[in-house]
Amino acid sequence: MFYCDFCANKNEWPITLHRSHGACEVCHTPADCSNMQSKDLPETKEKKIVPRKEVMAFALAMEVILRQNDWKHGWKEDLPSALVDRIWDEIREMEVAFSNYQKCRALPEDVQKEFVDIANFWSLNGNWYFGAVSNQGELRPAYFVLAAFDSLLRGSRLPVQVQSPGFDNPAVGWVAGMNGTPLVSALATREGDTLRVLLINKSADAPASVTLQLPASPRRRLVAASQMVARSPFEVSTGNAAGWQPVALASADSMNMAPYSLLQLEYLLSR
């Protein structure tokens, strides 16, 4: 293995008499490098990993954003429905930033910031503020939302419309007032002969009667449905997000959702 003197000092590796000039295999900087087999390096024997420069740079960018938000309460005790809403917002912001960059309306740093926001939001570092798993191995609500998106975000996205109760919200600051803002949102994808839908009822105290409007063809048959319900919007224990539970539905396209709940649907499409 070839490594420069800087990486040798950083990792407490020996500097050898046998040297070669070339790119350091750790930092990739051209230099006069020590030459030693990887198996003989102390760090290798202890199975330690030296992060590459790109990983360290991204981690530093994450830490900068985290420190800017240290005054906030964090997301440890957020409900799954709130986490789903937030990640959708973050993904939309990333798409806008990337589109603006392609049109020369944004800098690369603007795009990186949106990727950093998503990485911080879903990081698994268990630092009491962010993450899906705590430092005690406790599964947080974010874990179950991640599991849902892992199965849902496959194949191609499909158009889906939802008929559900709504509410009128007044104008606040720069946000204009709106009438009939829906309480339920949906996302649908198709992978082969499988169609998946994820719904979220954002009302903290009201159930919702929901009707799905999916593409008319091909025909579909509901094969699985599961829900995740918060027993109390103010319950701080992660026990209020005990995971997905199977649920029986009377109809494949019409259903009732509990307050602050998520619903996963899986359909089999006819050929």
Question: Which CATH number fits the domain that encloses residue 206?
Answer: 2.60.40.1180
Q: Give the range among 38-47, 109-118, 191-200, 205-214 with minimum mean pLDDT.
A: 38-47
Tell whether 142 and 159 lie within a shared domain.
Answer: no
Residue 4 to residues 11, 32, 233, 269, Cα–Cα distance (Å) = 11, 6, 55, 58
For the chain, the domain total comes to 3
Q: What is the chain's percent helix, strand, coil content, to nearest 5?
A: 30, 30, 40
What pLDDT score was predicted for residue 43? 55
189-202 pLDDT, tens digit each: 999 999 999 999 98
Segments forming the whole domain that contains residue 179:
154-269
Which H/E stretch holds residue 190? strand 184-191
Q: What is the pLDDT of residue 265?
A: 93
3-state secondary structure of 11: helix
Say what the pLDDT of residue 239 is.
45
Q: 30: cis peptide before it, omega within 30°? A: no
- Are 194 and 177 in a shared domain? yes
- Residue 76: what pLDDT? 58
Predicted confidence at residue 45, as pLDDT, reads: 43
Share of the chain above pLDDT 90, in %: 11
Residues 117, 209 within the same domain? no
More confident residue, 71 or 168: 168
Q: Please, which pLDDT band fits residue 40 given cuts at 50, 70 and 90? A: confident
- Look up residue 268 and give its two tokens: 């089999």
Do both 13 and 94 map to the same domain? no
User: Which of 133, 149, 165 is the last residue in one of the domains?
Assistant: 149
Least confident of 137-146, 205-214, 215-224: 137-146
- Reference 140, options 151, 132, 130; nearest CA is 132
Residue range 85-133, pLDDT digits in tens? 677 777 778 778 877 777 777 777 777 777 777 776 666 445 545 566 6
Residues 145 and 203 in one domain: no
Q: Name the domain boundary from 106, 128, 149.
A: 149
